[in-house]
Structure 1
Amino acid sequence: MIATLWDLLELTLRWLHVITGVAWIGASFYFIWLDNSLQDPPEWKAQQGVKGDLWAFHGGGIYEVAKYRSAPAQMPGHLHWFYWEAYSTWITGMALLMVLYYFQADTYLVAADGLVRQPWAAVATSLAYILSGVVVYELLLRSGISGRIPLLLGVALLLALVYSYLAHMLFSARAAYLHVGILIATIMVANVFIGIIPPQRAMVRALEAGREPDAAAMGRAKLRSTHNNYLTLPVLFCMVSNHYPVLYGHRFAWLLLVYIIFVAAAARQYFNLRHKGIHRPLILVTCAALYILLALGVAWDSRPALAAGAPRVSDAEALAVAAEHCAGCHSAQPSQPGFVAPPAGIVLESAADFHSYANRALVAVSSQYMPLGNLTGMETQERELLLNWLRQMSAGGAVSSND
């Protein structure tokens, strides 16, 4: 009963996180599109203080949207604000992190060969990792280089490499990708909480008091909003990456992550320019080519190869390990509590079964994604034995149980 309630709690938090995330991303994309799509208003609107306007058709009606240079002649009685989407996404995301990784740190957060081995220390390190990244971003943003785009991108690339590598040194491979995503998402929420909403409220107070608002502060708020727009796609990738051990289990996983982050952010540039009427498909073509190049490289590098002098492993030896650590879930009738059918329909009870899924099993076992959370306590030598057998099998050299 407790296990079922825990699973339902995880489901509920994940569902809420997706719902609030969709609302936040939708608002972010919409307002960037709106700002970039505004046209010069007719003279009579300009005389009323309108900076730009837009006409749109949606939901069976025509909408007219106008953006003022500072304020309308009379402030409205009700002004809509957009921030709870961001806060709710972060709150549900952190709650999900606690349920999945903090409360089960020894299973999902701690890496067997990582720098941090104790669950409580891993949780403390996780929080410090996230907080430090936000502080570094704030210092960078306030240093004055935000207007020097090439320098800013260079420093951002360096920091991304450092934090990605650090995450892989501190946490399990699966948790490392997720932590980079959480760090970026926390920076985005901090942008809203620290640098966007306060200047907006100050602007409203100034307008209501008949004072000139701080244009520089609003410019900085706009810059943070733009940063959030470019960071959205990288965060989404990190959030779904835990389903793909072929990437986070790679020997250069930390480098692949940074590569994908910058390709995703660059792809967003095409859409932002397109909203302004600037059509540059070469950006998307280049990003697609870079991603395909990465995919081909990862596929080539994942080819199974036996290490020189690696011992030959018989089917009987490997299947004995598999029976203890794999068959509990991946059998026709799983014995692992909570499973009524083999995950993804994958049955691993015989050598023929493993032959059908040899390459996928290699990735899952080598990345320590399987056994899930190492609940069965697979030892290092057992893992290596199974990996050697799978490499033999993938290379066409599997031996029989009679050898």
Structure 2
Amino acid sequence: MYDLAIIWDWIAFAVRWLHVVTAIAWIGSSFYFVALDLGLKKVPHLPVGAHGEEWQVHGGGFYHIQKYLVAPENMPDHLVWFKWESYATWLSGAALLMVVYWVGAELFLIDPAKADLSVWQAVLISAGSLTIGWICYDFLCKSRLGEHPTFLMFLLFSVLVIMSWGYDQIFTGRAALLHLGAFTATIMTANVFFIIMPNQRIVVKDLQEGRIPDPKYGKIAKLRSTHNNYLTLPVVFLMLSNHYPLAFATEYSWIIAALIFLTGVTIRHYFNTLHATGTGPHWTWAVTVLIFILIAWLSTASTWDGDYDAIENQALTAYEQRYADAAGFEEVQDIVLGRCSMCHAREPVWEGMHWAPKGVHLETSADIARAAREIYMQSGVSHAMPPANITGLPAEDRIRIVRWFRSAGRDQAALARN
């Protein structure tokens, strides 16, 4: 049973690797086509129906690109569709969400201090929010608001702020920001799957059957593509946020997440304008820097009152309790307090350190029970912690950590058999 933790960690790593690779492909192609679209030049003697063209050089060769707003007069023999980058990114991201946050719900998803949820309830909220989010967004886009893109974008931002607050009321800080990113990414991929690609297929079919394609399909797809363009950078930030406790483990993390969407708008506005005109509005960088300074300030505006007794007395879940009751816990507690707690404290005493790494606190028995898996993986199976073994954790203590964690697994397996 205990080896499953190692196997599962490698599965999570493999899926995360796939997710990052596919995301690079999707975001790269998205940014490329936005820049290409905005950089097109109208020149004389363009083919019938062509909107503009652009010459590019890359890899020792020259490329001549032309864009048709609707479609060319004749369908080309070979047509490349850009869709799998988006689909593979979402599918791998969904798999990673399941592997890390659904299977590990008691550790990474559920925060009993916020909402006392069972695993199935937390998973249902997780999956349901992504589905309902897309349905509501799609309804807004198909309503009359679709004719007012600026107001629609403001309304979308308001929805994202509400979702940021809502997730923060239910899930752990790390899971809240991750889910906001998944919520946004689901909208983006659904735009491709349900709107952009079907509309392009309609245009292609009309062309193949000799009909003049309706320009409205391109207009609809353009609206969704614009939304995707402005949402991309915030999604990347939210997916990276779980590595930085100053982003996810502070009182105002939901406001930080909301502000990041504004920086996505300012940064993309600069580059979109740059690609279209050759000069970007430099004021956008000043606004972006000011927003980021505000974010950094909010990350330290904690109202923590130092009530450590309340933390110690906070009830453990059944998952956490089995590690507190496992043989060797007292030994491991002494090891962790002696070798790890000077950094992993709510007020670290290690010189130059102001916040616990990854937001992991290891000061109380409850803290240690809650972080059992991380302690096992980081300081038992691997030698990742302490960094460079700076506190001199001996090999025999690492063995004690492994034995303690595995004994809890054996106890759990015995209970299951009985």
Q: Give the TM interval when normalised to the shorter protein.
A: 0.7 to 0.9
Matched, 1:89 2:89: yes
Identity of aligned residues (%): 35
- Which residue of the partner structure matches residue 28 of structure 2? 26
AA in 2 matched with 1:177: L
The CA deviation at 1:206 is: 0.3
Distance 1:367 1:25, change over 3 A: farther
Distance 1:225 1:157, change over 3 A: closer
- Which residue of the partner structure matches residue 236 of structure 1? 236
- Which residue of the partner structure matches residue 287 of structure 2? 286
- Which residue of the partner structure matches residue 155 of structure 1? 155
More displaced, 247-256 or 81-90? 247-256
The CA deviation at 1:11 is: 1.0
Distance across 1 between alignment mates of 2:90 and 2:68: 31
- Tell me if structure 1 keeps the 8 A contact 2:252–2:298: no
Q: How does 1:197-212 map to 2 (within 5 A)?
A: 197-212=197-212
SS at match of 1:355: coil
**CA deviation profile, 1:169-208 (whole Å, cap 9, x unmatched):** 2211110000000000000010001110001001000011
Distance 1:228 1:86, change over 3 A: same
- Tell me if structure 2 keeps the 8 A contact 1:327–1:349: no
Matched, 1:375 2:377: no
**CA deviation profile, 1:345-395 (whole Å, cap 9, x unmatched):** x97599x98333652139825799x95882349xxxxxxxxxxxxxxxxxx
More displaced, 4-13 or 234-243? 4-13
- Tell me if structure 1 keeps the 8 A contact 2:178–2:241: yes
Distance across 2 between alignment mates of 1:153 and 1:138: 13
Distance across 2 between alignment mates of 1:238 and 1:96: 14
Matched, 1:41 2:43: yes
Distance across 1 between alignment mates of 2:357 and 2:189: 38
- Which residue of the partner structure matches residue 75 of structure 1? 75
* Runs of at least 5 residues in structure 1 that lack an aligned partner in the other structure: 312-320, 332-341, 378-403
**CA deviation profile, 1:39-77 (whole Å, cap 9, x unmatched):** 0022x224x332100001111111100112433343211
TM (normalized to structure 1)? 0.78
AA in 1 matched with 2:36: L
AA in 1 matched with 2:51: K
- Which residue of the partner structure matches residue 249 of structure 2? 249
**Equivalent pairs, count:** 350
Distance across 1 between alignment mates of 2:294 and 2:212: 52
The CA deviation at 1:214 is: 1.8
AA in 1 matched with 2:139: L
SS at match of 2:67: strand
Matching residue within 345, 355, 359 for 1:360: 355
* Runs of at least 5 residues in structure 2 that lack an aligned partner in the other structure: 311-328, 374-418
Distance 1:78 1:166, change over 3 A: same
The CA deviation at 1:37 is: 0.4
The CA deviation at 1:9 is: 0.8
Q: How does 1:91-240 map to 2 (within 5 A)?
A: 91-240=91-240
**CA deviation profile, 1:297-331 (whole Å, cap 9, x unmatched):** 434x2598768x999xxxxxxxxx99855944984
Distance across 1 between alignment mates of 2:344 and 2:188: 46
**CA deviation profile, 1:137-182 (whole Å, cap 9, x unmatched):** 1111111213324422332232122111111122111100000000
**CA deviation profile, 1:106-144 (whole Å, cap 9, x unmatched):** 111111222342111100111111111111111111112
AA in 1 matched with 2:293: I
AA in 1 matched with 2:264: A
The CA deviation at 1:82 is: 0.4
Distance across 1 between alignment mates of 2:338 and 2:234: 33
Distance across 2 between alignment mates of 1:116 and 1:263: 34
The CA deviation at 1:7 is: 1.7
Distance 1:367 1:125, change over 3 A: farther
**CA deviation profile, 1:240-297 (whole Å, cap 9, x unmatched):** 0001112211112211210112222321111011110142111122111221232134
AA in 2 matched with 1:8: W
TM (normalized to structure 2)? 0.76
- Tell me if structure 2 keeps the 8 A contact 1:108–1:373: no
SS at match of 1:146: helix
- Which residue of the partner structure matches residue 14 of structure 2? 12
- Tell me if structure 1 keeps the 8 A contact 2:86–2:189: yes
Distance 1:264 1:72, change over 3 A: closer
The CA deviation at 1:222 is: 1.2
- Tell me if structure 2 keeps the 8 A contact 1:41–1:51: no
Distance across 1 between alignment mates of 2:124 and 2:342: 38
- Tell me if structure 2 keeps the 8 A contact 1:330–1:348: no
SS at match of 1:360: coil
Distance across 2 between alignment mates of 1:80 and 1:233: 26
Q: How does 1:269-284 map to 2 (within 5 A)?
A: 269-277=269-277, 278-284=279-285
More displaced, 129-138 or 109-118? 109-118
SS at match of 2:355: helix
Distance 1:70 1:134, change over 3 A: closer
Distance across 2 between alignment mates of 1:159 and 1:349: 35
**CA deviation profile, 1:77-112 (whole Å, cap 9, x unmatched):** 110000000000011001111110111111111112
What's the RMSD between the two structures over aligned residues? 3.3
- Tell me if structure 2 keeps the 8 A contact 1:101–1:108: yes
- Tell me if structure 1 keeps the 8 A contact 2:70–2:215: no
SS at match of 1:141: helix
